[in-house]
Amino acid sequence: MSTLKHLIDGELQGGGSRAAPVYNPSTGEIIHQLALADAGTVAQAIAAAQVAFPAWRNTPAAKRAQVLFRFKQLLERDEREIAALISREHGKTLEDAAGELKRGIENVEYACAAPDILKGEYSRNVGPSIDAWSDSQPLGVVAGITPFNFPAMVPLWMYPLAIACGNTFILKPSERDPSSTLHIARLLHEAGLPKGVLNVVHGDKEAVDALLASPEIKAISFVGSTPVAEYIYAEGGRRGKRVQALGGAKNHAVILSDADLDNAASALMGAAYGSCGERCMAISVAVCVGEQTADALVARLLPQIKALKVGPGTSPGLDMGPLVTRAHLDKVSGYVADGVAAGAKLLVDGRGIRVAGHEDGFFLGGCLFDHVTPDMRIYREEIFGPVLCVLRVGSLQQAIALINAHEYGNGTCLFTRDGEAARRFADEIEVGMVGINVPLPVPVAYHSFGGWKRSLFGDLHAYGPDGVRFYTRRKAVTQRWPQSASREASQFAFPSL
């Protein structure tokens, strides 16, 4: 059994006295031991990043982009290998893993535009012989803490853009499925990234707290659960860091009576059960306007949920793989039991599923609840599993009010043929990412990703234009070259035109 190491100053190395197991969730077997960083390991990575920063900051943006162009080519070269690593440790299907990587590559492509996105602004003659310009400059050493559900994509939201902007980076990926993340980081060094610009330290709360405590870390990006996001935002802000912390979600799909229900049901299947529901943009609540709409939608969903093909993610032709860990399987199963106890109607029960040859895997089939009410725990809390709840309301306005009252505001969507209703929904809904007949409205790389309310702590969203703003700070320069032949008197009033 191999031990996965940290990547510090361009080299794989140990660090820390503790280790954690990495599982294959399809079999329940331990496949790796993972070195867990202590404060000393984190300090070593930070020191390497500090040493690398001055030269990297002064590297022309076009040369930084050339490294990223080569990195993109290597990601595409190793696509199948990376997808297999993701699937083996996370459990998602190979097709889903490949799709995740492609969305990550889009962010590398955006970062390749560094020479353009970092251009400043220039104004001539803002005053007598006075010119002014603004410039976007890197922060220094920055860090990212990423979740298990997208071990390739979410890190690629962060460090390609951060290093394109001239920063150096410390990545703390999830300890549950680190192999693909580590492989991708090594590809960036193969592409010509100087040592110390990107460092990867594995770990748990001890490593996170070391990053938070370090005054050398100027900014932290985080994606994960809301309690941890809130903790990182509070602790980072208290120490004067710039923090961008993306938290949990409870994403609603509203289905109007005029919607194309066949297409809506198909869209919901992928949005609710894709990746076993382990997505922050997964649809976990279907809000049906009208009893007939709800009955018709449920009738279409039932046979499709029962027909879901569940098995080891590395096998072809599947719809769902296992959940990531035994503990998470037990947690999601507990939510299902809680929904039954609260009085919701469990129409499809995915508990107890057995996959031949993988009896010790962490499998849960698709689950469907009907007649869920807003007071139930399965509605209020993020389940993060293959569980879809159906709620019934009498009007679009009631649906909007229901969603706006929820503590999370990450993503939502509306299924309708009514343009007026769609425009009203998009205007009035208090959610950061909205889809109209699009179930997973994840913005493309040249926009930015982020929710509202308790789904995001911080002022700036992830990647895209907001990512550039997060990883840089603006400097305004005003200069004047007086004519040598003139002598000017002192001015004591505040300067103006």
Query: Are the C-beta atoms of residues 59 and 36 closer than 8 Å to each other?
Result: no
> How far from 155 is each of 85, 160, 161, 397, CA to CA, in Å?
15, 8, 10, 38
Reported in sequence order, the residue ranges of 42-129 that DSSP labels E, i.e. its strands, are 121-127
Beginning with the edge strand found earlier in the chain, give each strand of the sheet holding 130-138 in spatial order. 121-127, 130-138, 472-480
Q: Is residue 243 exposed (0-12), middle (13-18) or buried (19+ Cβ within 10 Å)?
A: buried
Tell me if 164 sits within 8 A of 65, measured CB to CB.
yes
Cα–Cα dist 232/239, whole Å? 11
- Distance, in Å, from the CA atom of 444 to the CA atom of 465, rounded to the nearest integer, reads 11
Residues 6 or more apart whose CB falls under 8 angstroms from that of 489 comprise: none
In this structure, are strands 283-289 and 251-255 parallel, antiparallel, or unpaired?
Answer: parallel
The C-alpha atoms of residue 217 and residue 141 are separated, in whole angstroms, by 5
Tell me, what DSSP letter sits at residue 299?
H
User: Helical H runs in 192-311?
Assistant: 205-213, 226-238, 261-273, 291-306
Contact status, residue 425 vs residue 434, Cβ threshold 8 Å: yes
Burial class (CB in 10 A: 0-12, 13-18, 19+), 10: middle
Sign of CA dihedral 155, 161, 167, 168: positive
Please choose, from the candidates 266, 256, 260, the residue with its C-alpha nearest in 3D space to the C-alpha of residue 294: 256
Check 165, 276, 280, 389 and give the catalytic one. Answer: 280
Residue 261 tokens, joined = 């229900």
| Contact assessment for residue 284 and residue 277, using Cβ atoms and an 8 Å cutoff | yes
Residue 219 DSSP SS3: strand
Q: Distance between CA atoms of 178 and 392, rounded to whole angstroms? A: 41
Q: How far is CA 394 from the centre of its chain?
A: 34
280 included as an active-site residue: yes
Q: Return the bridge partners of 218, or none.
A: none
Catalytically active residues, by annotation: 280
